[in-house]
């Protein structure tokens, strides 16, 4: 088992299943860089460990993750400097070779939703809320959200979520194709699903994951590159500074288009 972490909990809820729990409840599991680095490390370890055949990724009972850490991202220069480190962590999640099953209760927002969408299966609790609220901060998703949400639920619904900042609930997420099922206890159900996967041939499971991801991901490269550049450009805008200040001061933002 990997070493203990500050922002994650690790355990083994079923044979050959590792569970990774995001554990920063006071900040609603906001994905600060340290958390992402711990996650990347935990997944590296799980990838290298033959005893692990499937990973369940979960958060708390009221929040999966509230997105990037807005406090950490407040200073554009710091945000830009952290960008490379953060991208490397996202890449580890994206390249993880074993099935990743997300169990989502409560808020699954911004980078949190992008993290869930990088998982292979999303099991949602009845109370789950999915969204990309970056627009409210004068930003756009920066870890693949514009592309993967559109691929998952189609242009019109993705545009609505990304342009309004509104969330969709678990039932609508199921109907739209974002999640594979909705249940009262997503954590327990995700472990059952993961245990079923872990009982199959690891060789066949690995090839199946690669094959399905090629259908889902290969077409996204151009859009992902555009999103990355647009996100980096917006880091320097006055509107982004205002959006973040307004969030931290708990007031409505006043955007000027600069």
Judged by the rule CB under 6 A, the positions of this chain that interact with ligand CAA are 27-28, 30, 63, 66-71, 107, 109-111, 114, 133-134, 137, 139, 141-143
Question: Is the CB of 110 or the CB of 187 nearer to ligand CAA?
Answer: 110
Note whether 168 and 176 are within 8 A (CB): yes
Residue 194's CB is within 10 A of a number of other CB atoms, namely 28
Question: Is the CB of 38 or the CB of 114 nearer to ligand CAA?
Answer: 114
- Asked if 225 is an active-site residue, the reply is no
Question: Is the CB of 98 or the CB of 150 nearer to ligand CAA?
Answer: 150
- Asked if 114 is an active-site residue, the reply is yes
One of 134, 138, 173, 195 is an active-site residue; which one? 134
How near is the Cβ of 162 to ligand CAA at its closest, in Å?
11
- Asked if 68 is an active-site residue, the reply is yes
Question: Is the CB of 29 or the CB of 190 nearer to ligand CAA?
Answer: 29
Residues 232-241 as b/e (b if ≥16 CB within 10 A, e otherwise) read: eebbebebbb
Task: Report how far residue 99's alpha carbon sits from residue 47's, in angstroms, rounded to the nearest whole number.
Answer: 10
Task: Report how far residue 124's alpha carbon sits from residue 126's, in angstroms, rounded to the nearest whole number.
Answer: 6
Task: Copy the structure tokens of residue 181.
Answer: 């099922």
How near is the Cβ of 136 to ligand CAA at its closest, in Å?
6
Question: Is the CB of 80 or the CB of 210 nearer to ligand CAA?
Answer: 80
Burial class from Cβ neighbours inside 10 Å (0-12, 13-18, 19+) for residue 191 reads buried
How near is the Cβ of 5 to ligand CAA at its closest, in Å?
19
How near is the Cβ of 124 to ligand CAA at its closest, in Å?
16
Rounded to the nearest 10 degrees, the angle between the axes of helix 76-95 and helix 221-234 is 160
One of 2, 30, 103, 114 is an active-site residue; which one? 114
Up-side HSE of residue 92: CA atoms within 13 Å toward CB?
18
Note whether 235 and 76 are within 8 A (CB): yes
One of 42, 65, 66, 68 is an active-site residue; which one? 68
How near is the Cβ of 67 to ligand CAA at its closest, in Å?
3
Residue nearest to ligand CAA (CB): 110
One of 111, 112, 142, 243 is an active-site residue; which one? 111
**Beta-sheet pairing, 54-58 with 8-14:** unpaired
Q: Which residues have a catalytic role annotated? A: 68, 111, 114, 134
């Amino acid at each position: 088992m990997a070493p203990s972490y500050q922002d994650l909990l690790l355990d083994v809820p079923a044979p050959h299943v590792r569970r990774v729990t995001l554990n920063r409840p006071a900040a609603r599991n906001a994905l600060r860089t340290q958390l992402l680095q711990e996650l990347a490390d935990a997944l590296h370890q799980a990838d290298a460990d033959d005893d692990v055949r499937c990973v369940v990724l979960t958060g708390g009972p009221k929040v999966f993750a509230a997105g990037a850490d807005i406090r950490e991202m407040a200073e554009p220069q710091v945000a830009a400097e952290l960008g490379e480190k953060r991208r490397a962590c996202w890449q580890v999640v994206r390249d993880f070779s074993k099935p990743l099953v997300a169990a989502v209760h409560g808020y699954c927002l911004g980078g949190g939703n992008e993290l869930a969408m990088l998982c292979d299966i999303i099991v949602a609790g009845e109370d789950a809320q999915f969204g990309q609220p970056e627009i409210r901060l004068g930003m756009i998703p920066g870890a693949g959200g514009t592309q993967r949400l559109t691929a998952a639920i189609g242009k019109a619904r993705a545009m609505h979520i990304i342009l309004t900042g509104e969330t969709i609930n678990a039932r609508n997420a199921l109907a739209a194709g974002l999640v594979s099922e909705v249940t009262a206890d997503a954590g327990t159900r995700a472990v059952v699903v993961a245990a079923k996967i872990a009982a199959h041939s690891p060789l066949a499971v690995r090839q199946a994951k690669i094959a399905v991801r090629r259908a889902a991901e290969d077409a996204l490269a151009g859009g992902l590159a555009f999103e990355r550049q647009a996100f980096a450009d917006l880091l320097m805008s006055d509107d982004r500074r205002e959006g973040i200040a307004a969030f931290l001061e708990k007031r409505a933002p006043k955007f000027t288009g600069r």
